[in-house]
Amino acid sequence: MHRAATRVLTAAALALSALAATSASTAAPAPGHARKADPLQVRIGTYNVISRATVDTFKNVVTQVKPSVDVLGLQEVGMNDKNKWLIADYNWGYYRPPQLQQNPIIWDRRQLDFVSGSGVKLSDPHRIEGRNGGGEEAKTPNWATVVRLFHRASGHQLSFINVHLLTGTVKGGKFVPGRPQAKKLYLKQLRTLVKTARAERSASDEVFVLGDFNAGYKEDIRAGKKQLPVKQFKKIGFKSVWEKSPLLSKKYGTHSNALIDQIWNSGAPVSTQILTNVKGSDHRPAIGTYQMPPPDPTYVAPLGSIGFGQSPPVRNEYTKKAGKFVEIPLVGDFSHGYATVRVNAAESTATEGADFYIDPTSFLPGSRTIYVKINRDGQTEDEEYYTLEIVDPVNMVPIPGAEKVRGVIEANRS
């Protein structure tokens, strides 16, 4: 009996109303942080992973953070290999604007559907004073990542804005003296960001601004400067995730002892957390859990549908058909959630990897066709068959109404 293969499809099918609640208990939690029990809660994280981290370190730390969050904003991602790895995990949605690879947003696709994504330019190229008296620095344009997601359990649309504001400009709640151009650039980025957050409120039910603000919350509160984040976000009714957080009394922060990584929203979080066990950056991941407003009494969670369009044609090992792939179309409503196609080992006699394999490009976002390649092994053997099925990616239970499909490989008597 061969090993069953699990692949994740496009943004397809299933958004069953119980899915969000079910998914909350399936993944193993990060140490010290249980997965939420309330499907109307959304756990939002922000983590500066530092650009010099190796690909292996990046994979390790992000893997540790994922079980503790539903939405995660990352900063200083850098290399394309890191972004490619993020994209390859089909359990998680991914977006970053084409202008910037540094600050992607990822989200749990078991709970949230992608609505739209865009980039907002916070500042143009600018020359500023170097830190510690060291010449000038040329700064490239700074972009914020803006993603709108549909929360299936509540029926609300949520906007997330991920940023990394200029570093080395604010210290102890005050602007570093002798750097007027750096101050000007930081203020430009912050003002544009607040304006963007205000505008997003007309599009979504809730707006969250997250990222590395390079301004410590406790120091900002003490100094009370009207130009810094606390006062600027207060103008639009937003408060920091750290306001009244029990973590304010701790001697550690998200960067050394400072709380420069923040989440801003009009409401207060249910709980806050800093993942001190995650190593690999000079920052620590910050998480705020927020309660979503209850759904409208008339709201019905959207249901998708997916199935195989037809049975695959009978093939032999020696087919000369162009491409030599069996094409199995998918049909249905691909608007909500996603599904997993796997080989049913108990109902197959052909061995995946030896007798056939599924082309992995079948599972790229937007695909509506499964491609199966029949291998030529040159052995004399009877007719064989393989059975594919569509399952819920959370518990691997076949999706109701999604019929199995059986492909046949002709007997080889030569």
Residue % of the chain over a pLDDT of 70: 86
Of 241, 261, 291, the last residue of a domain is: 291
Give the residue with greater pLDDT, 411 vs 115. Answer: 115
Residue 197 lies in a domain: yes
Question: CA–CA separation, 170 vs 183, rounded Å?
Answer: 8
Give residue 320's domain range: 305-409
230 shares its domain with 379: no
Spacing of C-alpha 236 from chain mean position = 27
Question: CA–CA separation, 294 vs 70, rounded Å?
Answer: 18
Q: What is the pLDDT of residue 394?
A: 59
Question: CA–CA separation, 288 vs 101, rounded Å?
Answer: 24
Residue % of the chain over a pLDDT of 90: 58
- Per-residue pLDDT at 337 exceeds 70: no
281 shares its domain with 379: no
CATH of the domain at 65: 3.60.10.10
Range scoring the smallest mean pLDDT among 162-176, 276-290, 344-358, 396-410: 396-410
* Confidence label for 360 from pLDDT (cuts 50, 70 and 90): confident
Q: Across the chain, what does the average pLDDT equal?
A: 85
The listed range with the strongest mean pLDDT (57-61, 355-359, 375-379) is 57-61
175 shares its domain with 311: no
Range scoring the smallest mean pLDDT among 175-184, 231-240, 312-321, 367-376: 312-321
Q: What is the pLDDT of residue 339?
A: 74
Q: What is the pLDDT of residue 5?
A: 33
CATH of the domain at 391: 2.60.40
- Per-residue pLDDT at 132 exceeds 80: no
* Confidence label for 211 from pLDDT (cuts 50, 70 and 90): very high
Instruction: Give the total number of structural domains in the chain.
Output: 2
Instruction: Give the list of residues 6+ apart from residue 145 with CB closer than 8 angstroms, or none.
Output: 73, 95, 96, 97, 100, 103, 104, 105, 117, 119, 161, 162, 163
- Per-residue pLDDT at 12 exceeds 50: no
Q: What is the pLDDT of residue 412?
A: 74
Q: Is the pTM of this model over 0.85?
A: no
* Confidence label for 133 from pLDDT (cuts 50, 70 and 90): confident
Average pLDDT over residues 257-269: 98
Residue 298 lies in a domain: no
153 shares its domain with 262: yes
- Per-residue pLDDT at 6 exceeds 50: no
119 shares its domain with 224: yes
Of 291, 322, 350, the last residue of a domain is: 291
Range scoring the smallest mean pLDDT among 37-41, 60-64, 187-191: 37-41
Give the residue with greater pLDDT, 302 vs 104. Answer: 104
Average pLDDT over residues 240-256: 97
Whose CA is closest to 219, among 210, 209, 230, 211?
Answer: 230
Residue 271 lies in a domain: yes
Report yes or no: 401 and 390 within 8 Å, Cβ to Cβ: no
Residue 272 lies in a domain: yes
- Per-residue pLDDT at 62 exceeds 80: yes
* Confidence label for 33 from pLDDT (cuts 50, 70 and 90): very low
Instruction: Give the list of residues 6+ apart from residue 91 with CB closer than 8 angstroms, or none.
Output: 8, 108, 109, 110, 393
- Per-residue pLDDT at 135 exceeds 90: no
Radius of gyration of the chain measured on its C-alpha atoms = 25
Residue 9 lies in a domain: no
351 shares its domain with 287: no
55 shares its domain with 190: yes
Helix-, strand-, coil-residue percentages of the chain, each rounded to 5: 20, 35, 50
117 shares its domain with 201: yes
205 shares its domain with 154: yes
Backbone angles phi, psi at 217, to 5 degrees: -65, -50
Residue 297 lies in a domain: no
60 shares its domain with 158: yes
Give the residue with greater pLDDT, 394 vs 309. Answer: 309
Q: What is the pLDDT of residue 36?
A: 54
* Confidence label for 34 from pLDDT (cuts 50, 70 and 90): very low
- Per-residue pLDDT at 292 exceeds 70: yes
Of 291, 323, 351, the last residue of a domain is: 291
Give the residue with greater pLDDT, 299 vs 277. Answer: 277
- Per-residue pLDDT at 162 exceeds 50: yes
Q: What is the pLDDT of residue 260?
A: 98
Report yes or no: 370 and 362 within 8 Å, Cβ to Cβ: yes
- Per-residue pLDDT at 22 exceeds 80: no
Q: What is the pLDDT of residue 362?
A: 78
Spacing of C-alpha 271 from chain mean position = 21
Give the residue with greater pLDDT, 36 vs 64. Answer: 64
312 shares its domain with 262: no
Residue 63 lies in a domain: yes
Residue 10 lies in a domain: no
- Per-residue pLDDT at 236 exceeds 60: yes
Q: What is the pLDDT of residue 44?
A: 98
61 shares its domain with 112: yes
